[in-house]
Structures are given as C-alpha cells and as structure tokens.
Structure 1
Amino acid sequence: MSSVIEQSVQARMVASAPRMETLPATLQYDREDPFAVRMAFPGPATLEGTEVSWQFSRELLATGMDAPAGVGDVRVRPFGYERTVLEFHAVEGVAMVHVRTAELRRFLARAQELVPVGDEHRYLDLDRNLTDLLDGSC
C-alpha cells in the first residue's frame, strides 16, 4: 500500500465578481507526516505563476466541514450542505475557495484507511525528526 494519498479536486475561488473561477487543486496526505494535509494549487492557477501549497492539520479539515474551525493562516467552515470554504490567510491577502464537501469526505476516508485517527503517533519517526531538528549537531 502506498504511503501517500493524492486526490484532485475542483476548487472555486471566491471573488468579488459574481462568477466564481474554478481552479484545479490537489489534496495530499502522507503517512510519514500523519497529522498534516497538504493542498496545492498549480502555477497557472496562482497570481505568482508558481505552485502554491498550504499545509494544515487533518483534524482542522475534518472539524471545519461541520463547524467553523481554525484561527490561524488556514480556516475551514461549512457553506451549506454541499460545500466547504477554506480560507488561506497570508501577508498578501486572503484567498477563499469552495470545495465540494463530498470530495473532502472521500479524501479523509482514504486518509483514515491509511492512518486511523488516534493512531498517528504510531507513524512518527521520532529519531529522524529529532535528528532533523538538531540538524545532526549531536
């Protein structure tokens, strides 16, 4: 079984214009970083023209589909029954995208199969993480 899950989703950029632009995005979950989810937007979909990715907790995504969650750079909240809003806060401004909640639930179900919630600690390589943190200075 692969240790990484990737799923393409269609995100709709919320803008001041009445029509929302559809953007491709990729959700990624890696068993080696079991608490985190990554959402990447390809270069053509960003203002900078380079891929932009955000990393946030799996728990934040799961919680935010049912009730507003997050107080930092990434915030997630339900938008009706079928959509979830993800807000990405940066110095340059705030980007808000809508994603179908069913797509997010499918992604999280696949992540749950790979690493069950509550078992994340079993997949951490603490020796490697400590070495990375100390940069081999010990």
Structure 2
Amino acid sequence: MSTVIEQPVEARLVAAAPRMPTIPATLRYDRRDPFAVRMSFPGPATLEGVEVCWTFSRELLTAGLDAPEGYGDVRVRPYAYDRTVLEFRAPEGTAVVHVRSGEIRQFLQATNDLVPTGLEHLQHDLDQGLAELLRDAG
C-alpha cells in the first residue's frame, strides 16, 4: 500500500481583478507525517516563479470545510456552494484561493482510508525515533 496520497486540484486565485484565473495545485499527504497535509503550487503560478508548498494540519483542512478555521498563516473557510477558501499569509502578502469542496472531501477521505483520523499517533515508530535521537547525540 502506498504511503503517499497526491491529488491535483483546480484552484481559483482571488485577485483584485474581477477575473479569477485557474491555477493547478496539488494536495499531498504522507503517512510518515500523519498530522500534516501539503498544498503546492507550481512555479508559473507564483510571484517568485518557483514552486511554493504550504504545510498545515489535516485537522485544519477538515474543520475548515464546515466553519472558518485558522488563526495563523493558513486559514480555511467554506464559501458558497461547494467551494472552500484557503488563505495563505506570508510577509510578501496574502494569497487567497477557492477550491471545490468536493475535491477536498475526496482527498480527505483518501487520507482517512490510509490513516484514520484519531489514529495518527500509531504511525510514529517511537523506537526508531529514539534510536535516531541517540545516534545524533553521540
């Protein structure tokens, strides 16, 4: 069984102009980091021209489908019918994208099939982690 789930999604960038361009994005989940999801945007879709990846909690993405969530650099909230807004805040500015809620739900279901919510802690190999810490300390 694969330990990584990647799902392309269609994101619509909310800009000052009335037109909302579609940009490709990818949602990614890795069971080795079971509490986190990543959303990446390819270089051509970013101001810097390099791929940008945001990491935030799976719990935040799940909760943000139904009610506004997040107080830091990433915020998620429902918007209209079958849309979810993701806000990414950085010193350079804020990017706001709309993603179909159905696409996010499909992604989250796949992550839950891989690592059920509430059982993330079982993915960590404490013996291996302790061995790595002791090796690095020596």
User: In the TM superposition, what are the counterparts of 1:99-114 in structure 2 within 5 Å?
Assistant: 99-114=99-114
Query: Which digits, 9 at most, give the CA deviation of each residue in 1:95-125, with x for residues without a partner?
Result: 0000000000000000000000010000013
Q: Which amino acid is 2:104 matched to?
A: L
Do structure 1's residue 33 and structure 2's residue 33 form an aligned pair? yes
Could you list the runs of 4 or more consecutive aligned residues of structure 1 that deviate by over 2 angstroms after TM superposition?
125-135
Do structure 1's residue 17 and structure 2's residue 17 form an aligned pair? yes
| Whole-angstrom CA distance in 2 between matches of 1:55 and 1:111 | 15
Alpha-carbon deviation of 1:132? 6.1
The SS at the match of 2:48 is: coil
Corresponding residue for 1:56? 56
| Whole-angstrom CA distance in 1 between matches of 2:136 and 2:3 | 26
| Whole-angstrom CA distance in 2 between matches of 1:16 and 1:98 | 14
**TM-score w.r.t. length of structure 1:** 0.94
Corresponding residue for 2:6? 6
| Whole-angstrom CA distance in 2 between matches of 1:126 and 1:115 | 17
Alpha-carbon deviation of 1:128? 4.6
Change (3 A) 1:133 1:38: farther
| Whole-angstrom CA distance in 1 between matches of 2:123 and 2:60 | 19
Contact (CA 8 Å) 1:32, 1:125: kept in 2 or not? no
> What is the alpha-carbon root mean square deviation over aligned residues?
1.6
State the number of aligned residues.
138
Query: Which digits, 9 at most, give the CA deviation of each residue in 1:52-89, with x for residues without a partner?
Result: 00000000000001000000010000001210000000
Alpha-carbon deviation of 1:137? 1.7
The SS at the match of 1:26 is: strand
Q: Structure 2 regions of 5+ residues with no counterpart?
A: none
| Whole-angstrom CA distance in 2 between matches of 1:92 and 1:39 | 18
The SS at the match of 2:136 is: coil
